[in-house]
Amino acid sequence: MMSGRLRWRKFVSNFMLAMTGVCAFVSVLVLFFILGYLVFNGGTSINWDFFTKLPKPVGEAGGGMSNAIVGSGKILLLASLFGVPIGFLGGIYLAEFSGKGMASVVRYAADLLNGVPSIVIGIFAYSLVVLPFKHFSAYAGAFALGMMMIPITLRSTEEFLKSVPRMLREGAMALGASKWKTIATVIVPAAYRGIMTAILLALARVAGETAPLLFTAFGNRFESHGWSQPTATLPVMIYTYAVSPYEDWHRQAWAAGLVLLGLVLIINILARTILSRGIAVPRS
């Protein structure tokens, strides 16, 4: 026999809990909405031309974004080559070699770097790499993006290395392996999945960054050769085309958005699946 007050409380409970379900549902729905909208608007514009042709002069329809796609690929590759080794080897230092003092300093610096707004990273890269060399370049853009990859790679490497079971370590040592050999042949391979995941996630994160590229890679109407020329990139092209008045450019912006989002999502899904199939490691 329920009193009126109890009935009310039960009603409130069910209602509020249902509301939370709505919140969760809406949040997830946004993702599918974004994907769907991009597919709807950009899907039809993704054709062979988009991937293989250069942009046409302003106002003329047609052309593609081949230079931006290649440009983004080049810069991301270079950024990884810059940021990943620093993060990875730095992480090894933190996990295996450092004392408490140095470790906290390095961690603190990495956290600081992680929190820097990407536009500020752009300012720094401009002052350090563009001005002294007197040109916008792919490597300036790669420097900016690489910097952004360092903190994630560093912290994740450290965490995953530390979580490798003591048994493995001690076993290797008992067999007479030196420290660095232990690290190289036993510990790192054991933590490999987690570290790989972190690197992929870092890559996905910087793949979509636009602001730091505005002052570093700048932009290029043509394919950029080598590493020291201004380079067109997907995110910057999307931005330029989206704020323009040309319908054809809008169409291409949607297509580019779809390609970019697809790339980022695939990397993310890949990374998380690698992690979930691997050894149980703590969540970062």
Partner 1 sequence: MGTSTTALKGAGPVTGSRSFIAKLRDGDEIARLITLVFAASVVLITAALVLELWVNSALPRQKFGLHFFATSVWDPIMDQYGALPFIYGTMVTSAVALLIAVPLGIGAAIFLAELAPPRVSDTLQFFIDLLAAVPSVIYGLLGVFIVVPIMRTMIYPALNKPFGYLPIFKGPSYGVGFMTAGIVLAIMVIPYIISVSREVLLSVPRDQREAALALGSTRWESTWKVVVPFAKTGIMGSIFLALARALGETMAVTMVIGNTPKIAASLFAPGYSIAAVIANEFTEATGDLYLQSLIALGLVLFLLTFVLNGLARILIVVTTQKGSEVGG
Partner 2 sequence: MKRFTGFAVGVLALCAIVLADNALLINGAGATFPYPIYSKWFDVYHTKNPNFQFNYQSVGSGAGIKQVTEGTVDFGATDGPMNDDQLKAFQDKHNGTGILHFPTVLGAAVPTYNVEGVSAPLNFTPDALAGIFLGKITKWNDPAIAGANKGVSLRATDIVVVHRSDGSGTSFIWTDYLSKVSEEWKSKVNKGTSVNWPVGLGGKGNEGVTGLIKQTPNSIGYVELIYAVQNNIPYGAVKNSSGNMVKADLASVSAAAAAAAKAMPDDFRVSITDAPGKNAYPISSFTWLLIPQKFQDTGKRDAIKGFLTWMLNEGQNSVEALTYAKLPKEVVEKEKKAISNIQ
The yes or no reply on residue 198 touching partner 1 (CB under 8 A) is no
Burial of 170 from C-beta contacts in 10 A (0-12 / 13-18 / 19+): exposed
What sign has the CA pseudo-torsion 31, 33, 39, 41?
negative
CA dihedral 80, 252, 63, 71 (to 10 degrees): -10
Q: Kindly tell me which residue out of 205, 223, 246, 279 binds partner 1, with binding defined by CB under 8 A.
A: 205
**Residue 7 binding partner per list partner 1, partner 2, none, with a CB distance cut-off of 5 to 8 Å that depends on partner kind:** none
Q: Kindly tell me which residue out of 65, 76, 149, 204 binds partner 1, with binding defined by CB under 8 A.
A: 204
| CB nearer partner 1, residue 190 or residue 255 | 255
DSSP category for residue 43: G
The minimum distance between CB 83 and partner 1, in angstroms, equals 10
- Own/partner long-range contacts of 39-44 (Cβ < 8 Å, ≥24 apart): 39/258, 41/251, 41/254, 41/258, 42/251, 42/254, 42/255, 42/256, 42/257, 42/258, 42/259, 43/255, 43/258
| CB nearer partner 2, residue 217 or residue 255 | 217
Q: Kindly tell me which residue out of 50, 139, 160, 215 binds partner 1, with binding defined by CB under 8 A.
A: 215
Listing DSSP states for 172-197 in one string gives: HHHTT--HHHHIIIIIHHHHHHHHHH
Share of the chain residues as helix, strand and coil, in percent rounded to the nearest 5: 75, 0, 25
The owner of tokens 């290797």 is: 172
CB 66, CB 52: distance < 8 Å: yes
Site string for partner 1, 101-140 (x = CB under 8 A): -x--xx--xxxxxxxxxxxxxxxx-xxx------------
| CB nearer partner 1, residue 21 or residue 226 | 21
The yes or no reply on residue 41 touching partner 2 (CB under 8 A) is no
Which region, judged by CB under 8 A, interacts with partner 2, from 17-25, 214-222, 258-266, 272-280? 214-222
Site string for partner 2, 46-75 (x = CB under 8 A): ----------xxxx--------------x-
The yes or no reply on residue 81 touching partner 1 (CB under 8 A) is no
The yes or no reply on residue 61 touching partner 1 (CB under 8 A) is no
Using DSSP's 3-state secondary structure scheme, residue 55 falls into strand
Site string for partner 1, 5-24 (x = CB under 8 A): ----xx-xxx-xx-xxxxxx
DSSP category for residue 53: P
Q: Of residues 123-182, which lie at the interface with partner 2 (CB under 8 A)?
A: 130-131, 134-136
Tokens of 178: 């030196």
The minimum distance between CB 93 and partner 1, in angstroms, equals 3
**Residue 261 binding partner per list partner 1, partner 2, none, with a CB distance cut-off of 5 to 8 Å that depends on partner kind:** partner 1
The set of residues, in sequence order, having a beta carbon less than 8 Å from that of 9 and lying 6+ positions away, is none
Binding site for partner 2 (CB under 8 A): 56-59, 74, 77, 81, 130-131, 134-136, 184, 188, 218-227, 229-230, 240, 243-246
